[in-house]
């Protein structure tokens, strides 16, 4: 219970602070007026209700359980730096402070990971909870805590939970956040105590959003209803190793090959393929579409449910920097959330010793102790998603109370789960598992059915009532990733860092490294399976032991890495980790295609090969690069198209002299991206099955079982079924590669368009491009007006920040209170400044650089950082979105690390006393 409070919270504002204060007061007035009038529930809230949850940031508070005093110093952006004399005190204080700023967010996250969202939000979340209970993240997290994690890690998790619960003690929901006050009007939900397992579970949610190629596996299967194997291969081309360099270019291949030979592994890059590769039944498509719908409804944790997730991170050694020491940059690309998924803070031992071992700062997740990305006094590190394939879907032949495997029926492993529902009756479900994992198909009626015409190899068992779908995923086995977080936080050199990474089971991330001694490095960590038959590109036959995972994983000493490469830099941006011709193991066939990584590489090389030296600001400028590689490829060809319509020609002329940069105020960028969107729609999108197209967008198409061109009166109306921000073609760099492969083939089949009631048939690339130029002109006329002088990319390409619960599904006035935006953004899809948009669905921003940082290893106090939103999750705090304007403008904030620098930037000090 808070006691001995001798000062009020808040900072002493300068001019900027006074402006923020006036803005906050105005928002408070609007809020109170709205709440006085009610928002459909007849509630009455006062200013004191709104302010009740704001944290105390000055003075002192007594916390039972501390062994000594802890200082919490916050700067003008509310970012905390914690100083303690023991590890347990440090992490207990971290739990308390994060709960002050973000407990509602933490509470929602733990309900997500444990499949208990219905307890907070009622029956609308039952389906999601059923699916999440089937995955069993919290069950696996508990197994990790009980059996896998080190005693020191459990001690830190316990201390963190103690700090969170110290904050909760004696508080009602409305004392914790505005959202709880809103929930209190419709149900009697009350926050429960925090547990160490709640923290561990969040790593499972992180792993889910970064799980690899599962979405591609589903999409390729769905495509078989309308496309043949050659067409599908066209849409999933090989990685362009000759054009876009992989991450590891000089690795220790002899050592890797030796480890491979010693392992006795049979899992190599060459594969026999899956027996379901030629499946083409409409029923199988229905089953997989149902699976997609379930996946799509699972609330986003840290990304866009596995689609479109990318990141940039690179490091340059001291031979090529103005400081003489390395510079390291990182900007993970994740879905835009409010508050940001990241939480900035510093964790400092007043004296480093065996009793207190941490002096680290950076980005972490609210709800988790430690720092995920950042630096300590010796090393810095960044992360990007590696994309390695750690999930496989299996078709299962179900038979009564069991499933077929190796010609025998095995019993399911089962458990019963009870889902409590706010305002309703509880629901019980039975979760069934095969040897390949939980049956996802049990969670949706469509998934129970496998069709009467499903095509599998002749040796497949009789389909009977249908096949189920099971998920094999490394994250469903207990692991040690939480150990890795603490080990990396206190690592002091490359060997310790690399050793720590061995515990980072899931998700597999590209780890980029630099240290104050001048070294740079890269390590791929992760628990990566060695498969039998099949390469994980399509659902595999679960009844055939040849397709089961072997039980072996790529040996840790055989995972790709680099240390101090001669070129002087390392770039990771989701491209291929290593050339598959030089590596004996299968990592994945579904890399990002290297557009961003190669652009970063080109920018670095253009600087250092010209004799220049990289600065912190050079690193920042690369992060903001808006260059469009696909525009460089297409615009010269688009300008050669003879356009007779003067209005279309007027728009086409915007592309003349354009430098291919996608600035928010660029009319050329707006028009080009509209043309690109229409090229994709005409050449590919309209030819994809309905399960991949945008929901509600309808076409007259030939029946799926048609054997030849259909007359107009034989065509059927078919409407898309996928959410706009998840549909295909999304316009990412896979589609860049698809188009690049056929760009010089004027009569390629993909350029062919059938005759319609209003359009002539097209048979050449230029015919299709002409139509795209025309369609884009009139699309933008409808969206932006006929006068092209008023067009700009930022008017189309806007970011809205939405509170992830009540901001998306609450009453309209509450959404207005909790949400912010829009911001007009530079950048685009597969651009270094990756403000991603989905070309099938529209131009709105769906994922962003969720934070940016540049670490200066010569002087850590000269490092820079920025968050997408702010430190606070309280909607009317001055720190709710106080970093967003600067983030949108590409600015970075000073990042204090040393005690002297932190003291200089401190505006509020709170002392936590035992």
- DSSP-assigned letters across all residues of 484-517: HHHHHHH--SHHHHHHHHTT--SS-EEEEEEETT
Residue from 373, 355, 356 nearest 364 by CA: 373
Residues 262-301 as b/e (b if ≥16 CB within 10 A, e otherwise) read ebebebeeebeebbbbebbbbbbbbbbbbbbbbbbebbbb
How crowded is the C-beta side of 219, counted as CA atoms within 13 Å? Answer: 21
DSSP states of 816-830? HHH-EEEEE----TT
Looking at the predicted structure, is the pLDDT value of residue 34 above 60? Answer: no
pLDDT of residue 223: 85
| pLDDT-derived band at 1, boundaries 50, 70, 90 | very low
Angle at 617 between CA 615 and CA 618, to 5 degrees: 65
pLDDT of residue 615: 97
What is the C-alpha to C-alpha distance for residues 27 and 150, in angstroms, rounded to an integer?
47
What is the C-alpha to C-alpha distance for residues 327 and 600, in angstroms, rounded to an integer?
14
**Average pLDDT of span 584-603:** 94
| pLDDT-derived band at 493, boundaries 50, 70, 90 | very high
- Least confident range from 172-186, 211-225, 481-495, 851-865: namely 211-225
User: Among positive and negative, which fits the CA dihedral 722, 728, 731, 733?
Assistant: positive
Residue from 439, 504, 441 nearest 136 by CA: 439
**Burial classification of residue 237, based on how many CB atoms lie within 10 Å of its CB (0-12 exposed, 13-18 middle, 19 or more buried):** middle
pLDDT of residue 250: 80
**How long a stretch of residues is the chain?**
914
Residues 6 or more apart whose Cβ sits within 8 Å of residue 681: 729, 839, 840
Contact by Cβ (8 Å): 309, 733 = no
Residue found by looking up tokens 């000089």 in the block: 250
pLDDT of residue 813: 76
Strand stretches in 130-216, DSSP E? none
Three-state secondary structure string covering 290-317 = HHHHHHHHCCCCCCCCCCCCEEEEEEEC
Looking at the predicted structure, is the pLDDT value of residue 434 above 70? Answer: yes
Residue from 499, 530, 475 nearest 143 by CA: 475
What is the C-alpha to C-alpha distance for residues 138 and 370, in angstroms, rounded to an integer?
20
pLDDT of residue 879: 97
Residue from 86, 77, 64, 49 nearest 167 by CA: 64
Contact by Cβ (8 Å): 402, 409 = yes
Per-residue pLDDT reduced to its tens digit, 42-84:
344 556 666 778 999 999 999 999 999 999 999 999 999 999 9
Structure tokens at 422: 């706010």
Contact by Cβ (8 Å): 847, 336 = yes
Structure tokens at 291: 């699976």
| pLDDT-derived band at 731, boundaries 50, 70, 90 | very high
Q: Give SS3 for 289.
A: helix
pLDDT of residue 486: 98
- Least confident range from 112-121, 168-177, 359-368, 800-809: namely 800-809
Residue from 389, 422, 525, 14 nearest 186 by CA: 422
β-sheet bridge partners, residue 720: 695
Per-residue pLDDT reduced to its tens digit, 164-204:
999 999 999 889 998 888 887 777 888 999 999 999 998 88
| pLDDT-derived band at 302, boundaries 50, 70, 90 | very low
**Average pLDDT of span 825-833:** 95
pLDDT of residue 149: 97
- Least confident range from 156-160, 296-300, 577-581: namely 296-300
Tell me the percentage of the chain whose pLDDT exceeds 90: 66
| pLDDT-derived band at 704, boundaries 50, 70, 90 | low
pLDDT of residue 45: 54
Query: What does DSSP say about strands 467-473 and 509-515: parallel, antiparallel, or unpaired?
Result: unpaired
pLDDT of residue 15: 43
Residue from 56, 68, 188 nearest 122 by CA: 188
What is the C-alpha to C-alpha distance for residues 336 and 697, in angstroms, rounded to an integer?
25
Helix (H) or strand (E) holding 851: strand 851-856
Q: Does the model's pTM come out above 0.75? A: yes
Query: What does DSSP say about strands 906-913 and 59-62: parallel, antiparallel, or unpaired?
Result: parallel
Please indicate whether residue 704 or residue 393 has the higher confidence score (pLDDT).
Answer: 393
pLDDT of residue 211: 66
pLDDT of residue 445: 46
Residue 346: C-alpha distances to residues 67, 367, 369, 374 (Å)? 20, 15, 11, 9
Looking at the predicted structure, is the pLDDT value of residue 384 above 50? Answer: yes
Residue from 813, 844, 614, 557 nearest 41 by CA: 813
State the average pLDDT for the chain.
86
**Average pLDDT of span 772-779:** 98
Query: What does DSSP say about strands 549-553 and 529-531: parallel, antiparallel, or unpaired?
Result: antiparallel
What is the C-alpha to C-alpha distance for residues 13 and 867, in angstroms, rounded to an integer?
21
Residue found by looking up tokens 């001669």 in the block: 566
**Average pLDDT of span 764-790:** 97
What is the C-alpha to C-alpha distance for residues 58 and 175, in angstroms, rounded to an integer?
18
What is the C-alpha to C-alpha distance for residues 552 and 530, in angstroms, rounded to an integer?
6
Other C-beta atoms closer than 10 Å to the C-beta of 445 total 9
pLDDT of residue 339: 93
Looking at the predicted structure, is the pLDDT value of residue 276 above 50? Answer: no
pLDDT of residue 52: 75
- Least confident range from 344-348, 451-455, 665-669: namely 451-455
Q: Give SS3 for 271.
A: coil
Structure tokens at 408: 């025998």
Residue found by looking up tokens 């006085």 in the block: 36
| pLDDT-derived band at 402, boundaries 50, 70, 90 | very high
Tell me the percentage of the chain whose pLDDT exceeds 70: 84
Residues 6 or more apart whose Cβ sits within 8 Å of residue 731: 676, 677, 680, 829, 830, 837, 838, 839, 840
What is the C-alpha to C-alpha distance for residues 720 and 838, in angstroms, rounded to an integer?
15
Structure tokens at 323: 């400081």
Helix (H) or strand (E) holding 121: helix 118-121
Per-residue pLDDT reduced to its tens digit, 654-676:
999 999 999 999 999 999 999 99
Looking at the predicted structure, is the pLDDT value of residue 454 above 50? Answer: no
Contact by Cβ (8 Å): 393, 217 = yes
Residue found by looking up tokens 């056929």 in the block: 742
pLDDT of residue 162: 98
DSSP states of 348-414? EESS-SSS---EEEEEE-TT--S-SEEEESSEEEEEEE-----EEEEEEEEETTEEEETTEEEEPEE
Structure tokens at 158: 């316990």
């Amino acid at each position: 219970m808070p006691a001995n409070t001798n000062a009020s919270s808040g900072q002493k504002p300068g001019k900027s602070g006074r402006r923020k204060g006036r803005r906050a007061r105005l928002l408070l007035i609007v809020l109170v007026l709205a709440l006085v009038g009610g928002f459909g529930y007849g509630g009455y809230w006062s200013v004191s209700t709104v302010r009740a949850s704001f944290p105390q940031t000055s003075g002192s508070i007594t916390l039972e359980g501390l062994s000594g005093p802890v200082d919490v110093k916050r700067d003008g952006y509310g970012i905390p730096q914690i100083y303690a004399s023991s590890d347990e005190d440090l992490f207990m204080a971290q739990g308390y402070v994060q709960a002050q700023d973000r407990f509602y967010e933490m509470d929602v996250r733990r309900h997500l990971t444990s499949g208990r969202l219905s307890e907070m939000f009622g029956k609308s979340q039952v389906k999601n909870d059923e699916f999440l209970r089937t995955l069993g993240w919290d069950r696996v997290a508990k197994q990790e805590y009980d059996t896998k994690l080190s005693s020191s890690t459990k001690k830190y998790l316990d201390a963190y939970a103690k700090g969170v619960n110290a904050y909760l003690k004696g508080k009602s929901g409305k004392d914790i956040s505005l959202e709880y006050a809103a929930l209190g009007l419709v149900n009697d939900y009350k926050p429960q105590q925090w547990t160490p397992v709640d923290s561990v579970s969040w790593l499972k949610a992180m792993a889910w959003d970064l799980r690899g190629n599962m979405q591609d596996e589903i999409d390729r299967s769905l495509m078989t209803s309308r496309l043949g194997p050659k067409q599908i291969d066209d849409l999933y081309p090989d990685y362009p190793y000759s054009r876009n360099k992989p991450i590891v270019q000089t690795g220790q291949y002899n050592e890797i090959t030796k480890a491979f030979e010693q392992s006795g592994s049979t899992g190599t890059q060459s594969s026999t393929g899956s027996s379901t590769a030629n499946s083409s039944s409409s029923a199988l498509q229905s089953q997989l579409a149902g699976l997609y719908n379930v996946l799509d409804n699972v609330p986003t944790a840290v990304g866009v449910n596995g689609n479109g997730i990318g990141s940039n991170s690179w490091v340059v050694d001291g031979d090529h920097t103005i400081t003489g020491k390395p510079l390291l940059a990182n900007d993970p690309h994740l879905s835009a959330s409010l508050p940001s998924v990241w939480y900035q803070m510093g964790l400092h031992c007043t004296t480093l010793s065996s009793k207190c071992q941490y002096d680290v700062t950076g980005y972490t997740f609210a709800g988790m102790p430690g720092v995920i990305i950042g630096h300590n006094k010796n090393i810095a590190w960044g992360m990007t998603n590696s994309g390695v394939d750690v999930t496989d879907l299996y078709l299962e032949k179900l038979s009564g109370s069991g499933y077929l495997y190796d010609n025998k029926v095995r019993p399911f492993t089962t458990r019963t789960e009870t889902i409590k529902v706010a305002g309703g009756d509880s629901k019980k479900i039975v979760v069934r598992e095969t040897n390949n994992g939980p049956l996802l198909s049990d969670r949706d009626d469509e998934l129970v059915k496998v069709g009467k015409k499903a095509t599998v190899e002749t040796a497949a068992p009789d389909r009977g009532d249908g096949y189920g779908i099971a998920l094999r995923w490394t994250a469903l086995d207990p692991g040690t990733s939480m150990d890795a977080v603490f080990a990396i936080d206190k690592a002091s050199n490359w060997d310790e860092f690399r050793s720590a990474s061995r515990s980072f089971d899931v998700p597999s991330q590209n780890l980029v490294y630099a240290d104050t001694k001048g070294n740079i490095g890269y390590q791929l960590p992760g628990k990566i399976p060695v498969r039998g038959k099949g390469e994980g590109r399509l659902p595999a036959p679960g009844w055939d032991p040849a397709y089961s995972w072997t039980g072996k994983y790529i040996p840790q000493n055989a995972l790709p890495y680099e240390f101090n490469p001669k070129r002087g830099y390392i770039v990771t941006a989701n491209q291929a980790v290593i050339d598959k011709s030089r590596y004996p193991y299968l990592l994945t066939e579904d890399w990002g295609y290297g557009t961003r990584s190669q652009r970063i590489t080109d920018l670095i090389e253009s600087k250092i090969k010209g004799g220049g030296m990289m600065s912190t600001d050079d690193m920042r400028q690369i992060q903001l690069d808006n260059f469009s590689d696909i525009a460089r490829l297409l615009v010269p060809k688009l300008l050669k198209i003879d356009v007779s319509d003067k209005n279309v020609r007027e728009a086409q002329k915007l592309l003349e002299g354009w430098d291919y940069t996608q600035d928010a105020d660029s009319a050329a960028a707006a028009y080009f991206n509209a043309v690109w969107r229409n090229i994709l729609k005409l050449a590919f999108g309209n030819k994809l099955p309905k399960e991949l197209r945008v929901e509600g967008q309808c076409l007259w198409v030939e029946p799926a079982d048609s054997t030849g061109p259909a007359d107009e009166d034989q065509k059927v109306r078919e409407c898309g079924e996928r959410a706009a921000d998840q549909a295909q073609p999304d316009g990412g760099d896979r589609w860049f590669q698809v188009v690049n492969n056929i760009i010089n083939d004027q009569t390629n089949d993909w350029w062919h368009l059938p005759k319609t009631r209003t359009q002539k048939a097209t048979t050449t690339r230029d015919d299709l491009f002409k139509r795209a130029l025309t369609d884009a002109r009139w699309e933008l006329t409808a969206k932006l007006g006929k006068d092209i002088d008023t067009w700009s990319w930022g008017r189309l390409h806007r970011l809205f920040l939405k509170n992830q619960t009540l901001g998306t599904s609450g009453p309209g006035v509450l959404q207005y209170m909790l949400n912010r935006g829009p911001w007009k953004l530079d950048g685009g899809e597969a651009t270094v400044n990756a403000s991603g948009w989905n070309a099938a669905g529209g131009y709105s921003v769906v994922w962003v650089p969720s934070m940016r940082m540049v670490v200066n290893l010569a002087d850590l106090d000269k490092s820079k950082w920025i968050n997408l939103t702010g430190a606070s999750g309280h909607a009317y705090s001055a720190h709710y979105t106080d970093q967003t304007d600067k983030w949108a403008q590409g600015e970075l904030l000073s990042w204090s690390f040393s005690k002297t620098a932190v003291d200089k930037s401190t505006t509020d000090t709170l002392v936590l006393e035992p």
